[in-house]
Amino acid sequence: MYIPGLLVSLLWSASTTTTVAAAAADQTILANEIQRVSNQSLLWGPYNPSLYFGMRPRIPKSLSVGLVWGNLDTYPGAQKSIRHTCEQSDDMKGYGWVEYDVRTGGKQVIHDQANFIDIEIELVKVPGGRNGGNWGARVKGKPRDNAPKTLRSTVFFWATNEDEDGELLLENEPDLAGLKGTVSLRGNIEGLDEFHIEVTEGPATNSGPTQLDSRLDGLDGEADISRSLYRVGSYPAEHIWRVKNIIFAELKGRFDKLMEKFGAENLPPSWQALTFAPKYAEEGQDGNVHLVQRVYEGAFEFDILFSSDSAAKTMTSKILTEKIQENTESFNTRFSKTFKRYAPFDTPKYANFAKDLFSNLLGGIGYFHGTSIVDRSEYPEDEEGFWEPAKANREKSLGQLEGPTTLYTSVPSRQFFPRGFLWDEGFHLLPIIEWDVDVAMEIVRSWFNLMDADGWIAREQILGEEARSKVPKEFQTQYPHYANPPTLLLVLTRFIEKWSSTTNYPNLTGELSQIMEQMSEFGGDGIPHAILTSAESYLKNIYPLLRRQYYWFRDTQAGDIRGYDRTAFSMKEGYRWRGRAPGYCLTSGIDDYPRAEPPHPSELHVDLISWMGFSARLMKNIAIALSETEDAREYGKHEEAILHNIDDLHWNKEAGCYCDATVDTFEENTHVCHVGYVSIFPFLLGLVRDDDKLKSLLEIIGDEEQLWSPFGIRSLSRQDEFYGKGDNYWRGPVWINMNYLAILRLKEYGSVKGPNQQKAAKLYTELRKNVVNNVFRVWEETGFAWEQYEQEKGNGKGVQHFLGWTSLVVNIMALPETVEVIPVPGHDEL
């Protein structure tokens, strides 16, 4: 929200920050150096979040490495036991990062109950050199308590190379019996230069299966399954992401020979038959898919060590051990400081809960590169029944491949939505910006770099065949007249607030050389907040894109006020989501929330005009900070007109809330009132100025027969005819992102003396407690955070492992238990 005191502080702070940088060198030099150091620390990561473990650099068509595992105790169970991509059908007892920082690494634990094993992966990143430094991962497998005494597991390490001009070679001497000891690869790929990868043998406690079929002894091509079984192959570059399929294909040749020799009824044990026959590259060839299979009985452990030749030191198991402990200690200290929990959530039982949710949000950050399908045909929505010809045209599949483009983003769910969603991303970044401002703003920049010449950003980023494999064909195409809530503006609001208080970061002071020294280690206090020293430069660079998108919204999502004889303060400030269909408004983000039926070109939508009011306010604040005086005046006029029109066009006195507008059978303006999130949207974004209207909205929010529940605010009133009906997606269930906005607004209004202060403060305390307690309860019971929560019993609903905006619970726990009355409104927590 725009508050004069904030801007005074902001402009003073901008001057102070610039002075700090100018005392050392030109601010541009500082900004460039910050960007360089930050990029180095962010080069490597588990940036394929759809995989249980998949490392890659932020380089298109480069090296990728990862793991696949499964159980080999029986033939029937072997194929379905193979784990590679995160799947809800894998029936995990829980999985994910229990601690994670994108710059230093962390620990992931996977409770694979169907395979009777828990997998633990401890990842460490070590700075050094010019190519992103070194990294290592310690992989441990521990049989679960109910596992068979002779649990036989197989683990595949894989490495793929998409760079057709690069190379990736095995360093070991080929041995058809299998490789002893450490398996070593060396490579040279653009952006990484020369590097080495080692897959260590692990401790002496590792052991292979003891019950073996002696009939295989001495047969041609039979390897020793106590060794590492290596195979290399060359596959079309566009298909090498299908690692699981490639593994099955490489296993099939040997298995078919065993079937031919012994028959289906007399096969050797599955832990022997379902293994590789070693295969090595021909002289002068390297292959682009490298596989290492190991078979274990019981517990196992090994390390994956990546060393950049440009680094001063080689990555070793000793360094990995030291850094694992060091990173755990530093993560816990920093987390407690960054996300201090307040009563009643300041007890130890909430500590792991908070770290789990936040770590999985960060662990869901990915790097994506590829083409997307875009249909740039015209689909006018100005005539009645517009959705019917639009649907017919969509069914013709007129979309064309565009790109490739790249995107650095977090994802809502690693198993179900492992790609970028514009509507979700702004909420994802609200916890992230508290931890690492630079990462959050790097992601914002990445999203805005996708903008086309008109100002459009596709609401769902499905980049490349791997991403498209997770999306039904009918949802793959993106349409340039479809919008999505501009939630990235929530993050920019918080960024400006942090810029206004950069004196809170004492490490960012002194001479340029001292600042660079402070940022020399990944994950130190320097890098995550260093961008604040060049915040003005960042905003200047992104401002033209923000302005372009702002006017794209105003042009493409405009609604008709004058054509339907509506009375309003402004004849221009009315808005309508495009992409409506009977029963749905997918572009709004709240898909099946009840709207006017049938859809009509006269519609005006409360939530969209609220987003536009929020946008105008933020654009005004940014323009003031950047001394864009004329622009600021322009945005200010828009904001004022929108605030008036929200009331003039959408307030319904009888319902006591805001309602969508349409026309009746006589072409007369009428409201469509379905009490729920849409009804309170101006409140959620801090746009309600009238005390009487605020009082009415607070009564609706606090009414158990309407929106209030013991688990959070429902998406639709209990009294609505569509409550719990149809898809029941946004027709009752509790969503954490909307509850987060409500909690912030209640805190804000509860802090201001006035007729509604006491009511807002009481609702704030109760809603904060209800939301956190329910998400925590379900997490304890199921091992997961969920997409939404059932409105009557509070159980998890929809997609599991949704982190995702459900991680906003971490921010909620970091808010005070009660609010204090202050004489003027405090700044917006967004």
**∠ Cα 609 596 561 (to 5°):** 45
Point out the catalytic residue in the list 591, 631, 699, 766.
Answer: 591
Longest dimension (CA), the chain: 91
How many angstroms separate the CA atoms of 396 and 412, rounded? Answer: 30
Residue 529, Cβ density class (10 Å: 0-12 exposed, 13-18 middle, ≥19 buried): buried
Encoded tokens for 50: 């759809």
**Known catalytic residue at 167:** no
626, burial (CB in 10 Å: exposed 0-12, middle 13-18, buried 19+)? middle
AA identity, residue 249: A
Q: What is the dihedral of CA 326, 330, 332, 338, to 10 degrees?
A: -170
| 180 phi/psi in degrees, rounded to 5 | -90, 150
* AA identity, residue 710: P
Tell me how far apart the alpha carbons of residues 2 and 689 are, in angstroms, rounded to a whole number.
13
Q: Tell me the one-letter amino acid at 814.
A: A
DSSP code for 558: B
Residue 224, helix vs strand vs coil: coil
Buried b (16+ CB within 10 A) or exposed e, 182-221: bbbbbbebebbeebbbbbbbbeeebebbeebeeebeeeee
Q: Collapsing DSSP states into helix, strand and coil, what is residue 585?
A: coil
507, 518 in Cβ contact below 8 A?
Answer: yes
User: Per residue in 265-281, is it b (16+ CB within 10 Å) or e — as a string?
Assistant: eebbbbbbbbbbbbbbb
Q: What is the distance between the alpha carbons of residues 805 and 785, in angstroms, rounded to a whole number?
A: 10
Tokens, residue 615: 């946008």
* Cα distance between the two ends of the chain: 9
For the chain, give the number of residues: 830
**Cβ atoms of 318 and 305 closer than 8 Å:** no
- Annotated catalytic residue 465: no
Alpha-carbon span 550 to 347, nearest angstrom = 44
What lies within 8 Å, CB to CB, of 710 at 6+ separation is 770, 774, 794
| Those residues with Cβ within 8 angstroms of residue 108's Cβ, 6 or more apart along the chain or in another chain | 46, 52, 53, 95, 96, 97, 98, 100, 120, 121, 123, 363
Contact 615, 685 (CB under 8 A): no
Q: Which of 222, 787, 790, 829 is catalytic?
A: 787
Q: What is the 3-state secondary structure (H, E, C) of 18-76?
A: HHHHHHHCCHHHHHHHHHHHHHHHHCEECCCCCECCEEEECCCCCEEEEEEEEECCCHH
Catalytic residue positions, numbered: 591, 787
